[in-house]
Structure 1
């Protein structure tokens, strides 16, 4: 019999670094609609639904559940998708699941973003009372005041309020049980994953002090406060959340700079950095993040293959100054002088003999200078 798994939506290249996104109690993965598509440009994004929410089966959770039970469901989903280590980000209960994973399964969590969440949710009593009322009355009364709990006055996302209304009451109450029993304050100092805490300054449920408590306790953690955001910041202030997550998740510019140095060599990169001015700084950052931090790090093609594609493109467009640089890069990426010659010969057929004449002259000069 096939094990039931959390409902999920996958976006982005299968070869990209995996990123798991968790929702808040009462919502579905639609909470991430304004953020996930952008994150999927650089990551394999997996958005999951809580039991009894969205498309997840309510029977995945029962009375007396814990955040650890929810974390186990997330790990089972990751395992089913062949995902070992992953970055994770979560809102409220989804953030609590991320914290639990970072504490109990540190080998699985490469980085963590905790959004409008906490290491505790103000004690057991409020959640026990909410669970009891939901079990007896259903979720209609919560849907009626969802906007005031989730957003600042005048803002709403009807789809998320509909998610609250459509959630399974028993599963929702079991999630309340999990929040009632949850308190990780004494274990935050043991988290080793690179951690970002994001607070909504107008959040009444998990105010900035809760996120500051996490940032102060987790070694090296950073804190971002978003003005004008209440409890569901990814829905209300998606651009601000996206900016914070992009800067945190994989350090694209830092990773890109490392790859840039590996391919082009320290001497070239140092010269480029020395020539950088305030006018060109954003462009240099763009190159490091996009060309080197996203394209050259994609494992779909090897660096050897990327060098061959790059040489051909530079010849086709007559960019011979860049060609010299990338002939050296091709050697670093493992191409022999004979293989570079074969690429140039292929280019003669499809880019033209005059272009190949210039390319051979450039390549021969570079290879002779480098002793090839």
Structure 2
């Protein structure tokens, strides 16, 4: 199995980069990280299962995070134009897209922008679009609209939230404070797993090593602005994975995505939280290959 390899390219004066991993001769998949996140996610959780599935993962860092320098973005769809240039330079005629958590909307934007090139879109624990309404979602008597979803109601909190994350992860127990806000299912999954905790810490540190500006912009376009396209206009086959105990992204968001995307399949995993991708990476990647 080939070791993961970093890559960068210059587009309009800005650096765009990430990591390539999995099966380097396999079917190409453009992978989009969470918020906050970086290419570390793909390497840490998907490198080995992608290689087994015969998938070439090309993880792309968004502006101001990981290996990509800051560049302007007004909405989700803007980054799909950047991804189009990346795919052209890598000579990818046909490929799948994979987005986890905050990366889901970016994967869907690419599916919308490139209907003749994206063979399948797979999103995991992905939020649904901002709809301009302050909403509180409750399912089964449990309030699910916690975490970053609160930015739908209070978008001005994006910058201080990103700054607090950056400050927190620099402290000895900063990661523990972030984990304390996760769902019981996720906290139970993380308890005592030092290897997984280390991977998550590395991912967040990499996302914030340029500062919090990139993460703040990402949170704003994800949760407080229209995405720039309609889900109903996506023609690619799409698979929506969602844990029913996710405290960061309500399960209702997964159902809404699947209901609004015409050619879609919804897979609800009982008992899974926001870390759904960690334990189900092989099955999720198989759902890409099946397409």
**Partner of 2:45 in structure 1?**
34
Check whether the contact 2:75–2:226 (CA below 8 A) recurs between aligned residues: no
Counterpart check, 1:54 vs 2:85: no
Counterpart check, 1:214 vs 2:241: no
Q: How far apart are 1:120 and its partner, in Å? A: 2.0
Q: How far apart are 1:5 and its partner, in Å? A: 4.0
Counterpart check, 1:76 vs 2:76: no
**Partner of 1:188 in structure 2?**
231
Check whether the contact 2:125–2:249 (CA below 8 A) recurs between aligned residues: yes
**Partner of 2:178 in structure 1?**
146
Note closer, same or farther for the CA distance 1:165–1:34 as it changes in structure 2 (3 Å cut).
closer
Note closer, same or farther for the CA distance 1:29–1:186 as it changes in structure 2 (3 Å cut).
closer
Q: How far apart are 1:87 and its partner, in Å? A: 0.2
- Higher RCO structure, 1 or 2 (CA under 8 Å, sep 6+): 2
**Partner of 2:142 in structure 1?**
none
Note closer, same or farther for the CA distance 1:39–1:95 as it changes in structure 2 (3 Å cut).
same
Q: How far apart are 1:249 and its partner, in Å? A: 1.6
The 5 Å alignment of 1:288-307 reads none
Counterpart check, 1:10 vs 2:42: no
**Partner of 1:227 in structure 2?**
270
**Partner of 2:140 in structure 1?**
none
Structure 1 stretches lacking a partner, 5+ long: 253-372
**Partner of 1:245 in structure 2?**
285
The 5 Å alignment of 1:242-281 reads 242-246=282-286, 248-251=287-290
Which of 129, 135, 139 is residue 157 of structure 2 equivalent to?
129
Note closer, same or farther for the CA distance 1:193–1:170 as it changes in structure 2 (3 Å cut).
same
Note closer, same or farther for the CA distance 1:6–1:160 as it changes in structure 2 (3 Å cut).
farther
> Which protein has the bigger strand share?
2
Note closer, same or farther for the CA distance 1:207–1:125 as it changes in structure 2 (3 Å cut).
closer
Normalising to structure 2: TM-score of the pair? 0.73
> Which protein has the bigger helix share?
1
Check whether the contact 1:124–1:180 (CA below 8 A) recurs between aligned residues: yes
Normalising to structure 1: TM-score of the pair? 0.58
Secondary structure in structure 2 of the residue aligned to 1:172: helix
Name whichever of 21-30 and 172-181 sits farther off: 172-181
Secondary structure in structure 2 of the residue aligned to 1:112: strand
**Partner of 2:30 in structure 1?**
20
How far, CA to CA, are the matches of 2:90 and 2:37 in structure 1? 23
Q: How many residues align?
A: 244
Q: How far apart are 1:138 and its partner, in Å? A: 6.3
The 5 Å alignment of 1:100-139 reads 100-120=109-129, 122=149, 124-134=152-162, 139=166
| C-alpha RMSD over aligned residues | 2.8
The 5 Å alignment of 1:267-346 reads none
| Larger gyration radius, structure 1 or structure 2 | 1
Q: How far apart are 1:75 and its partner, in Å? A: 2.3
How far, CA to CA, are the matches of 2:270 and 2:68 in structure 1? 33
